[in-house]
Structure 1
């Protein structure tokens, strides 16, 4: 049965500059040297322990992964994250679709975040031309070029533009790859549809990003550090725009998920995983990745047990997660992200903290002589 679909080409898109913004990056940005707010005694002890684990992991050439929700970007923490990857403390960044969008809007416009309630009432929420056009186009081109989700956006930010293939080149790619690489042929065909439907001229499309120094994605791309994007279809405002093509988006997201899983597969032996304010994306992709990595390790006669997980969130929890799961009558049982991570083996620590204070304190601790 074929059900009716909403036609996004009928939507009225508005320029991003017409949107009232809640945050301006120059006012919101947290610079690495800023003094953090006070931490609890338990929080300070955990961060000191975490810093020791990070140092040991890097001495052993083990990954130190950091996954975070969109609030880390909205709170202006990209400069701190960039410092940590630039200093070789963090080897992998991961965020959700909203984190990708806020990071891009900050680098492109210098501002982000809208009043959701007001904009939904007015039928304007998410219906912003540049965000939908440029992010989707970057993903459509990135899928054809073999890039991941975060890499596709990071490349656009860093190079300040996109290279659009001609129809003739794409037609040739469809035919050339059909026999031996039909997936690449399909990616070329999808991009060909986009180029034709939107009448895109071939060649360089310049897209200035005046605030790109504040971008986690752009700087990660420049430094060669993976920043993987882990979206969910329909969760983000870029799905409102008719440029959105989920076959292309899915190719990029699949590459990033497998890049993430590959990093997880190397955690054994003292690797570190830090999860900041992500109640759904981070624990869900981690458990699937660890299961796949464990499957491969068992086939080699090995097992992944020696890894350290630090979870940071504003939610309070009186339970000691190093003791396993709490009973169902304990409210802590329903902190799903902690419950998931408690099942992942290794060592689990939880700290209740503002993400700004946590990352600034960790950065300061790592800057001390070890």
Structure 2
């Protein structure tokens, strides 16, 4: 039997503690301003990470460095376009990279003020994704873009402006086209509903999205000192970002000292590895788990308050 009376202890003053009261959160008054609420968050775990991401965006904005947002489809379905467009117009976000699903939801919102369908019901009778106007107009835009030497993002945005889409003020694609701000669309052939349509032209789809890959790579090459955030793309955009970053560095661009953050409702392998860890060498990368409809408004409000308060 071991003699527990001989167990050695030492003073707590000599122990390194991971949490101190200086890191604690503080209660807010009911009518608290956003800046005070932000300061009240604990400097612990996700609270500390969230503050670090906000601080990085604020610093990048002040130093005129690139802040880029990558968006998955659910970001649009959660009603967040007005908040993202506001950040773009204020010069806080410099551009967007989106996946195919995101572009479809954005296009439908712009044209008809509604999007998202009952997949299970449509799948049972073969009507899923077969709304004529969505497929026809978006595939027209791809062909027009290919003919004019445009990327997919710009081609879709211009199409919405040409059509005078009723809700174009709520469309990231249309607003970016109007402001001549960069927006790139990265699709996986066969993965989007518009690829099912008889009007689909694989060559035009491939040409315009590949143009956007090169455009996105050029933006990533200037990421030094900036920030890139991924919201809700668990496969396509993390993979595209990794390849774009590789090419940028292969061609002699530093693109190393930047902040990368992944926001999603669950933590996924590819965003964690290809956005947060591998590109940053484990330094300056953050994973924050939460619902988009809460985290994006919170992030936007925090950044704006810190810029207003002097950061």
Q: TM-score range by the shorter chain?
A: 0.7 to 0.9
1:331-370 aligned at under 5 Å gives the runs 335-341=269-275, 342-345=277-280, 346-368=283-305, 369-370=309-310
User: TM-score of the superposition, structure 1-length normalised?
Assistant: 0.68
* Structure 1 position 125 matched with structure 2 position 128: yes
Mapped to 1, the partners of 2:130 and 2:171 lie a distance apart of 23
Equivalent in the alignment of 2:248: 293
Give the equivalent residue in structure 2 for 1:280. Answer: 235
SS at match of 1:349: strand
Q: Deviations over 1:318-354 (max 9, x none)?
A: xxxxxxxxxxxxxxxx723202231112521111111
The answer to whether the aligner puts 1:254 opposite 2:210 as a matched pair is yes
3-state DSSP class of the match of 1:112? coil
Conserved 8 A contact 1:96-1:230: yes
d(CA) in 1 for partners of 2:232 and 2:191? 17
Q: Residue 314 of structure 1 corresponds to which residue in structure 2?
A: 265
Distance 2:206 2:71 in 1: 20
Q: Is the 8 A contact 1:147 1:255 kept in 2?
A: yes
- Structure 1 position 224, deviation (Å): 1.4
SS of match in other structure, 2:259: strand
Does the 8 Å CA contact 1:43/1:353 hold for their aligned counterparts? no
* From 65, 70, 73, the counterpart of 1:62: 65
C-alpha RMSD of matched pairs (Å): 2.0
Cα distance, 1:73 vs structure 2:
0.5
Tell me the residue number matched to 1:231.
187
2-structure distance, mates of 1:43, 1:357: 14
2:68–2:227 contact (8 Å) kept in structure 1: yes
After TM superposition, the structure 1 = structure 2 runs for residues 147-186 of structure 1, keeping only pairs within 5 Å, are 147-160=150-163
- C-alpha contact (below 8 Å) 1:109/1:211 kept by paired residues: yes
* SS class of match (1:242): coil
Q: Which moved more, 1:345-354 or 1:70-79?
A: 345-354
Distance 2:302 2:118 in 1: 37
Distance in structure 2 (CA, Å) of the matches to 1:344 and 1:210: 40
Contiguous gaps of at least 5 residues in structure 2: 1-33
Secondary structure, aligned partner of 1:58? helix
Where 1:338 maps in the other structure, the secondary structure is helix
CA deviation vs aligned residue, 1:250-283 (integer Å, no higher than 9, x gap): 1110111111111111112x11110111111221
In 2, Cα distance between the equivalents of 1:77 and 1:43? 22
Distance 1:116 1:304 in 2: 40
Distance 1:127 1:237 in 2: 7
Q: Secondary structure at the match of 1:76?
A: coil
Q: Deviations over 1:196-216 (max 9, x none)?
A: xxxxxxxxxxxx521222111
Q: Is the 8 A contact 2:220 2:255 kept in 1?
A: no
Which protein has greater RCO, CA pairs closer than 8 Å, 6+ apart? 1
Aligned length: 266
1:39-188 equivalent positions in 2, closer than 5 A: 42-160=45-163
What's the secondary structure of 1:80's corresponding residue?
helix
Cα distance in 2, alignment partners of residues 340 and 47 from structure 1: 19
Which structure 1 segments of 5+ residues have no match?
Answer: 1-32, 161-207, 317-333
